[in-house]
Amino acid sequence: MSWILPPSASTFASDIDFLYYVILWITGIAFVIVEVGLVVFIVKYRARPGRKAEYIQGSTKAEVIWTAIPAVTVVVIGLMSGGVWNDVKGRNSVPAGAIPYGVHAQQFEWQISYRGPDGQLGTGDDFTVRNQLHIPVNQPVVMRLTAEDVIHSLFIPAFRVKQDAMPGMTINVWFEATRVGEFEIACAELCGIGHTTMGATVTVHTADDYQRWLADRAAAADR
Amino acid sequence: MATTALPLEKTTHATHEMSFVRKYIFSTDHKIIGIQFLLMSFVFLLFGGLMAMMMRWQLGFPDQPLPAGQLLPETMAPGGFLLPEFYNSLVTMHGTIMVFFAIMPLLVGVFGNFLIPLKIGAPDMAFPRLNMASFWIALTAGILIMAGFFVEGGAAGAGWTSYAPLSASPEWTGVVGGQQLWLVSLAVVGLASILGATNYITTVVNMRAPGMTWFRLPLSIWALFVTAILVLLAIPILSGAAIMLFFDQTIGTHFFDPTDGGQPLMWQHLFWYFGHPEVYILILPAMGFVSDIIANASRKPVFGYHSMVYALISIAFLGWIVWGHHMFMSGMNPTLGMAFMMSTMIIAVPSAIKVFNWMGTMWRGNIMFHVPMLHSVAFVSMFVIGGLSGVFMASPPVDIYFHDTYFIVAHLHYVLFGGSLFAIFGAVTFWYPKMFGKLMNPLLGKIHFWLTFVFYNLTFFPMHNLGVGGHMRRIYDPSQYEFLQPLAPLNTFITVSALLLFAAQIPFAVNFIMSWFNGEEAGENPWNDNGLEWIVPSPAPHGNFAELPIVYRGPYEFSSPLVEEDFLPQTRKLDSDTEPAAASAAE
Amino acid sequence: MRRFLVASSVFLFLGCGGGDGGSGGGGGAAAVDPLGNASITGAISFVGTAPANPTIDMADEPDCEAKFTGTPVDPIVTVSDGKLANVFIRVVGGLPGGPYPTPSEPARINQDGCLYSPRVLGAMVGQPIEITNSDPLLHNIKAMPTENRPFNISQPRAGMTTTRRFNTPEVVIPLECNVHGWMNAYVAVVDHPYFAVTGADGSFTIGGLPAGTYQVEAWHETLGTQSGEVTVEADGSATLDLTFGG
């Protein structure tokens, strides 16, 4: 029953997680103030014989205080969020030199395409693998996310990546993995009968292993 | 329109005898119509709850057949095991039925109808026959939507949000007629809502008794009035979008189909432009009832009445400019994300103001914990949780992780169930004597409250943790994902709690039915409240007031220094009061 | 209000399912009372180099991959010893008029090893088609006919069976599984029992015919169609061989 986010493995995950914990603390404090306040009032002001309630209409000072403090708090959270949002999803957020991959979502598979030896995505030597994304570690990558039929959503929890795949659009999703290993991909938008089975895997390789894997797969695709 | 100057003897239905059918079935009396909405909504609440139980069974015990599942046809649950397409239909229909056929009619159809004329001093609504039509149209829509389960391909299965292109073609879901019936039903129930809203607005503007100025209206009426304006403006957008999607499904248009120049994103904009005001429609009346009940129970005026009114209006106004927060991940321009983030952050403020004002009302009060008050305090404490969880999603980077996870499911249930439904239980208990002339049994009421409160929290609070773990929503089989497997015991725990929560509603149903026949007789004013409804007999008679009520003060004069008793009804004339101007109701 | 009730009843009936796509009984062509005793036999050949069939990446489905020795391959063009399998042959002309009785024995198709088998199935109009899942995982069956009612249903567990019928002749109705995008099958629906599907040896027999001259068409999913004509004597047998080219 944890409020701790699962371990992450991408560069911007720590920024997102930090925001989460800031909000968790702030909302946690507000939660305690209100709930404890309610309990105190329930006990202290319960009806007892001989008591009377105080005829109070309100307090302008109180209204100002409890308008201003929440307002300032949410504006601060908003400004902090804006910076991170711009870095992750902004128009110019994709780092130069990010390796491109094609991710085509369809009912109910992910078709991942890799640029072939010519180094260009979208040419004849590209090859496609079902449900497996292989990327090198410590290297920005960008998914050119498309959808064949209905809306799907590329969700990689460990990287704090999520982006809806929209039929008729190509959307850039960039990230940079910080650890070698295997991580899960899920579809996070109801897409039909098989929505539950649209799992896939991201395998993060060392730079050398990645080159080896690429060469193997490109050769296999040639057959 | 000289409505209040009209002597009450001239209203036509105050004097003649009517047949049973005209009196109780095709009635134009706002109170009967309110009760009709109440009975209809409880039936749909039951249907919606049963659907949730089936979904929870699949998530908690996927390897066990559903109890009595063999009763379901092979197209839904062969051998008692839910098919994924049936699970998707349950997800869709649970949401749709709870929103449009349970919570909305309970808040707006029941209490809008029942309370508005009584609490403003009017004999009935401005348009009684339109009011009657509104109920029967809503019931027709309810039948249409349930019909989806009986047609080939089953009931709608694209979520209550019905995103295109999934919802636009049977090719993607396997659902044909069910998806179309869903759209037709929503357009029809939308019409019922629009007729109702027209009635409420006209009645509140035109038919207040002399002395019932705007700032002497109870907050329940303010909330219903503001909600009615939201309904009038928001529902037509859904109707228009539904018609466009219906055309895409049936006559070959491509509004939402990108292969022919359409835009799936447009459905989301249209739906959420309606959808966000809709969720405020689903909470504002509840806030109004809770204000009335907390003041009554605390024997104190509402703290900051004017602020409360302005907060209601601000929430309603700001609710129009936040819709994009449902679409942060949709692929819309990220700059829009920033804009919607700011407006969403700001809308937290008027809700916070209301929470503090409710607490301020209890502060230094002399609080009676009758059953309506128990539910109202639960409302405040649960709504706060729902509101605070919203702050996480309002931040678009954090929403990257939480969008379409159980964190959102937790949030929406905290505001809609923890919030609205508790308020509804409280309001039903509070106004039951005025509806039926009997009091609901308080012991059964307390048992129902505590069981519901405990199992409700055990069901929905852990969903926050599921979301933190990354658990997606609308997922038939989470075991497909290794990262979700450790969360399976939590899913089972939630399912068991949910089943117990469902069972905990039995005392309420028993109480509701039994009290109708055997309940303690209620006097005129069993809660010692100040509103106009408490000066007429229980149950309130046809035509409401024997003579035109005159209003001398606001509705929250509890523990007033002017009198001995700890309440002072709006219509009681003190020596220090002056008569209001006869034309004051026309302002 | 009355008008609303009528209008909503109209919508109700619009949405109500018809009887199409239902279930049924019936057997293969041979179970029907024959009109005669003549038969057409033959073999379908393939000339040239058969195109290589694509391999299937079943890395994500170990339960299916385990059913194969070696790398799973999508058997689009199956040629052995110059003979072509999975060709659907039917009589297209020369038959005495129907209607022909609907068989009660079902035509069967299996989802096994994440492939449909048979890949090509012939059935009569109204004949029940039984689709079984033999894999311990979710498959869906999406049928996209143009003359019949489409459907899209799932079978999440091994052993589950669904029965459907097609009531209008259609050659051919593709079946897909969308969870496994390579899974394809083809159901040919004909209004008479004079059809067959070739096996690995490319041979076929269509029996129970009266004497006469018949036009015959063979269909393959990627290689197109080939036609021929053959005459049979009463109680006799005639041979028709057709060839698809590379």
pLDDT in tens, A118-151: 889 999 889 999 999 999 999 999 999 999 999 9
Determine the Cα angle at B45 with ends B40 and B48, to 5°.
125
Range of the structural domain that residue B501 is part of = 30-586
Among A residues 181-200, those touching chain C with beta carbons less than 8 Å apart: 192-194, 196-197, 199-200
B150 burial level (CB within 10 Å; 0-12, 13-18, 19+) = middle
**Sorting pLDDT into bands at 50, 70 and 90, what band is C21?**
very low
Q: Is B245 on the interface with A (CB under 8 A)?
A: no
Region B488-496: mean pLDDT is 97
A-C CB pairs within 8 A amount to 42
Instruction: Give the nearest partner residue to B174 out of C14, C153, C155, using CB atoms.
Output: C153
pLDDT for the residue numbered A60: 96
C-alpha to C-alpha distances, B364 to A51, B559, C74, nearest whole angstrom = 10, 11, 78
pLDDT for the residue numbered A217: 86
At residue B3, does pLDDT exceed 70? no
At residue C11, does pLDDT exceed 60? no
Region B313-330: mean pLDDT is 97
> Which residue in C179, C182, C183 has the most chain A C-beta atoms within 10 A of its own C-beta, making it the best mutation to test that interface?
C179
B-C CB pairs within 8 A amount to 72
Q: Is A196 on the interface with B (CB under 8 A)?
A: yes
B291 burial level (CB within 10 Å; 0-12, 13-18, 19+) = buried
Range of the structural domain that residue C218 is part of = 19-245
pLDDT, tens digit, for every residue of B397-442?
A: 999 999 999 999 999 999 999 999 999 999 999 999 999 999 999 9
Residue C57 has which token pair?
A: 């990446």
At residue A99, does pLDDT exceed 70? yes
Q: Is B533 on the interface with C (CB under 8 A)?
A: no
> Which residue in A56, A61, A174 has the most chain B C-beta atoms within 10 A of its own C-beta, making it the best mutation to test that interface?
A56
Count structural domains, chain C: 1
pLDDT, tens digit, for every residue of B153-179?
A: 999 999 999 999 999 999 999 999 999
> Which residue in A24, A103, A162, A163 has the most chain B C-beta atoms within 10 A of its own C-beta, making it the best mutation to test that interface?
A162
pLDDT, tens digit, for every residue of C85-112?
A: 999 999 999 888 778 999 999 999 999 9
- Which CATH number covers residue B195? 1.20.210.10
**Do the bridges between strand B438-439 and strand B520-521 make them parallel or antiparallel, or are there none, so unpaired?**
antiparallel
pLDDT for the residue numbered C30: 43
Cβ-Cβ contacts under 8 Å, B479 against chain C? none
Domain range A13-89, CATH class: mainly alpha
Region B513-539: mean pLDDT is 96
B449 burial level (CB within 10 Å; 0-12, 13-18, 19+) = buried
CB A180 within 8 A of CB A202: no
pLDDT for the residue numbered B16: 61
- Count CA within 13 A, CB hemisphere, residue C187: 33
Region B446-463: mean pLDDT is 98
pLDDT for the residue numbered C33: 57
What is the CATH T-level fold of the domain A99-222, as seen in this structure?
Answer: Immunoglobulin-like (2.60.40)
What's the rounded Cα separation, in Å, for the pair B379 and B275?
Answer: 22
At residue C6, does pLDDT exceed 70? no
**A16 to B335: CB separation less than 8 angstroms, yes or no:** no
pLDDT for the residue numbered B229: 98
**C140 to A194: CB separation less than 8 angstroms, yes or no:** yes
Per-residue H/E/C for A18-39: HHHHHHHHHHHHHHHHHHHHHH
The verdict on residue B8 lying in a domain is no
What's the rounded Cα separation, in Å, for the pair B291 and B218?
Answer: 9
The answer to which of A23-37, B20-34, B134-148, B293-307 has the lowest mean pLDDT is B20-34
Q: Is B144 on the interface with C (CB under 8 A)?
A: yes
CB B244 within 8 A of CB B335: no
**Sorting pLDDT into bands at 50, 70 and 90, what band is C13?**
very low
> Which residue in C58, C60, C137 has the most chain A C-beta atoms within 10 A of its own C-beta, making it the best mutation to test that interface?
C60
Q: Outline which parts of chain A fall under CATH 2.60.40.420.
A: 99-222
Q: Cβ contacts of residue A81 below 8 Å, gap of 6+? A: A19, B341, B395, B396, B397, B398
Q: Outline which parts of chain A fall under CATH 1.10.287.90.
A: 13-89
* Beta pairing partners, C141: C153
pLDDT, tens digit, for every residue of B364-379?
A: 999 999 999 999 999 9
**B360 to A59: CB separation less than 8 angstroms, yes or no:** yes
Region B54-68: mean pLDDT is 96
What's the rounded Cα separation, in Å, for the pair A7 and B431?
Answer: 51
Region B217-244: mean pLDDT is 97
Chains that touch B (3 or more CB pairs under 8 A): A, C
DSSP chain A: ---SPPP--BTTHHHHHHHHHHHHHHHHHHHHHHHHHHHHHHHHTB--TT---------HHHHHHHHHHHHHHHHHHHHHHHHHHHHHHSTT-SPTTPEEEEEEEETTEEEEEE--TTS-TTSTT-EEEESEEEEETTSEEEEEEEESSS-EEEEEGGGTEEEEE-TT--EEEEEEB-S-EEEEEEE-S--STTGGG--EEEEEE-HHHHHHHHHHHHHHHH-
Kindly report the nearest CA distance between residue A27 and chain C, in angstroms: 41
Nearest CA in chain C to B176: C15
Instruction: Give the nearest partner residue to A131 out of C55, C60, C138, using CB atoms.
Output: C60
The verdict on residue C142 lying in a domain is yes
Cβ-Cβ contacts under 8 Å, A168 against chain B? 258-259, 262-264
pLDDT for the residue numbered A168: 95
pLDDT for the residue numbered A116: 84
At residue B583, does pLDDT exceed 70? no
pLDDT for the residue numbered B582: 63
C-alpha to C-alpha distances, A28 to A35, B199, C17, nearest whole angstrom = 10, 43, 53
**Sorting pLDDT into bands at 50, 70 and 90, what band is C141?**
very high
pLDDT for the residue numbered C23: 31
Region A108-120: mean pLDDT is 92
Cβ-Cβ contacts under 8 Å, A199 against chain C? 60
pLDDT for the residue numbered A215: 87
pLDDT, tens digit, for every residue of C179-200?
A: 999 999 999 999 999 999 999 9
Nearest CA in chain B to A200: B481
The verdict on residue C7 lying in a domain is no
Cβ-Cβ contacts under 8 Å, C179 against chain A? 108-109, 194, 197
Cβ-Cβ contacts under 8 Å, C155 against chain B? 83
Please name the residue that has the structure tokens 């959420």. B272
Helix, strand, coil proportions of chain B in percent (round to 5)? 70, 0, 30
**C17 to B75: CB separation less than 8 angstroms, yes or no:** no
Q: Is A61 on the interface with B (CB under 8 A)?
A: no
What's the rounded Cα separation, in Å, for the pair A188 and C92?
Answer: 49
Q: Is B153 on the interface with A (CB under 8 A)?
A: no
**B480 to A199: CB separation less than 8 angstroms, yes or no:** yes
What's the mean per-residue pLDDT of chain B?
Answer: 94
Q: Is A195 on the interface with B (CB under 8 A)?
A: yes
Count structural domains, chain B: 1
Region C71-94: mean pLDDT is 93
The verdict on residue B4 lying in a domain is no
**C57 to A107: CB separation less than 8 angstroms, yes or no:** no
Cβ-Cβ contacts under 8 Å, C114 against chain A? none
Run of H or E including B137: helix B128-147
Report which listed range, A177-191, C51-65, C223-237, is most confident: A177-191
Cβ-Cβ contacts under 8 Å, B188 against chain C? 4, 8
Q: Is C179 on the interface with A (CB under 8 A)?
A: yes
> Which residue in C4, C23, C130 has the most chain B C-beta atoms within 10 A of its own C-beta, making it the best mutation to test that interface?
C4
Region B558-579: mean pLDDT is 94
What's the mean per-residue pLDDT of chain C?
Answer: 86
